[in-house]
Amino acid sequence: MNILEDLLLQMAFVVTLIFAFQLFYSIGFGRSKYFRLTQALLFGVALVLCMTFPVHVTDQLSIDIRIVPLLLGTFYGGFETTLFLSLLILLYRSYLGMDSGFYATTLAVFMCIPIFMYFQSRFLQANKNRRLLIATGLTVSYCVCSFVSMALFIGLSDTFLGAFLLYTVVMVAVVLIFVAMNETIKETLVKSQQRLAEAKDAEIAFLRSQIQPHFLNNALNSIAALCVENPRQAEQLTLNLSQYLRSGLNFKQMDTFTTLENELELTQAYLNIEKVRFGDRLAIEYDIDADPNRLIPPLILQPLVENAIKHGLMSSVRGGIVKISIRETDEKLRFTVEDNGCGMSEAKRQEVLGPDSERRGIGLRNIARRIKLSYDATLQVKSTVGIGTKVLFELPNPTDRRTLDGKSHHRGR
């Protein structure tokens, strides 16, 4: 019963640390530069705990399940983790005593590590069933190496042979349980992350699909209004809308990105339409200092400009100015859309960003949700009644820096 209790105690140590390892991975810590170090330390703690509380078979023979954290560290941690855990075994065993057991452990480690490293890449490339097969083979090889080294430094006996046979069976079972458990946890986490990513992409696609018909409706209404009063201008607006449709709505995939230059061209097409409608009441100022080939989500600027015009300026007879600023730093791309229109109260600001804002049309909340889902960024709205409104947000520099053929770098518009 004591043997079983000691084995269960060691398994509890390893289970706890494996779950800690998977928790770090699941919350995104797997992308941190300190993840490998944390991973090695967790496996190292499990290994030391297993060696600290061994199963005492006889007065001269003690066994533990150090093979579990050692193998898991090899499989999932790589070369550096394997060397760290091997060195930790030798150092801790020397701390326990420089006896025949230490020399047997040293020989077993030096015999096993090359074998483990040889199969490490094969393990990562294999499917789940093959991984279990590789883990079984390496566990048996470790037990054989331990048997040979113990026989050389301690000697053979009937008790020794029986204990090692039992040890081999137990170690194979334990390793299979832990590897299977670890693989199952990983599969569950990966599927969960995939479902979250699919849900996020679906929501982004839905939000984007709301913006497109909204803009088209406004543009067509503007053209219809000019057809009788000024057919020539209506014709020019139709051409502007055609230009917008050719490039602005050509999104074949949910995760399609556009360039900053293209987004500015789309916004300019929209502003051409609005300038004809409102004439001298509408003025536009640009402050653009960013790479025109920078990739950004499409239709993320024009709706903000539309809001500034429709709700900020045109509610006043005098109209006003919309300022569009896009500034690039080493780490951020900062967008600002500012108007000197009627502004809004704090209660109104909360309302347009609230969960019911979509019922009254496409607005700031739509853009806020898109950048939150895509970048975990925050849309800021600063407004004062009678003074105006400023909307700003920052996007991190993308990892994909696509350069379009035939496009040149420019500053300002």
**Which CATH number goes with the domain that contains 287?**
3.30.565.10
Domain span including residue 186: 2-194
Assess whether 391 and 280 both reside in one domain. yes
CA–CA dist 411, 409 (Å, integer): 7
Assess whether 165 and 25 both reside in one domain. yes
Assess whether 258 and 190 both reside in one domain. no
Determine if residue 247 is left, alpha or beta; phi over 0 gives left, psi from -120 to 50 gives alpha, anything else beta: alpha
SS3 (DSSP) at 362:
coil
Residues 6+ apart with CB under 8 A from 300: 263, 335, 367, 370, 371
Residue 114 lies in a domain: yes
Residue 111 lies in a domain: yes
Residue 29 lies in a domain: yes
What are the distances in angstroms from CA 375 to CA 32, 93, 260, 297, 326? Answer: 17, 49, 16, 10, 17
Among residues 194, 219, 247, the one where a domain terminates is 194
SS3 (DSSP) at 410:
coil
Assess whether 162 and 240 both reside in one domain. no
Residue 219 lies in a domain: no
Assess whether 235 and 190 both reside in one domain. no
CA–CA dist 212, 68 (Å, integer): 56
Residue 412 lies in a domain: no
Rg, the chain, Cα only: 33
Residue 153 lies in a domain: yes
In tens digits, what is the pLDDT along the chain, a chain of 413 residues? 465 666 666 667 666 766 666 666 555 555 556 777 877 888 888 888 878 877 766 666 667 778 878 888 888 777 888 888 889 988 988 888 788 778 888 888 888 888 888 888 888 888 888 888 888 888 888 888 888 888 787 776 666 677 777 778 877 887 787 778 777 777 777 777 777 766 666 665 665 565 556 667 777 887 887 788 788 888 888 887 787 666 555 544 435 678 899 889 888 888 887 887 788 899 999 999 999 999 888 778 988 998 898 888 887 778 899 999 999 988 899 999 999 988 888 888 887 776 655 444 456 777 888 788 778 889 999 999 989 999 999 998 764 433 333 333 333 33
Assess whether 271 and 315 both reside in one domain. yes
Assess whether 115 and 252 both reside in one domain. no
CA–CA dist 327, 289 (Å, integer): 5
Assess whether 391 and 252 both reside in one domain. yes
Nearest residue to 70 via CA among 160, 171, 168, 150: 171
Residue 210 lies in a domain: no
Whole-structure pTM value? 0.51
Assess whether 165 and 236 both reside in one domain. no
Assess whether 256 and 386 both reside in one domain. yes
Assess whether 254 and 322 both reside in one domain. yes
**Residue 249 is encoded by which pair of tokens?**
């709505």
- Looking at the 3D structure of the chain, how many domains does it have? 2
Residue 131 lies in a domain: yes
Assess whether 168 and 240 both reside in one domain. no
pLDDT given at position 356: 56
**Residue 301 is encoded by which pair of tokens?**
């600027």
Identify the H or E element spanning 334: strand 332-339
CA–CA dist 127, 259 (Å, integer): 40
CA–CA dist 180, 184 (Å, integer): 6
Provide the CATH number for the domain around residue 10. 1.10.1760
Evaluate whether 295 touches 257 at the Cβ level (below 8 Å): yes
Nearest residue to 71 via CA among 148, 134, 149: 134
Among residues 173, 194, 215, the one where a domain terminates is 194
CA–CA dist 401, 397 (Å, integer): 9
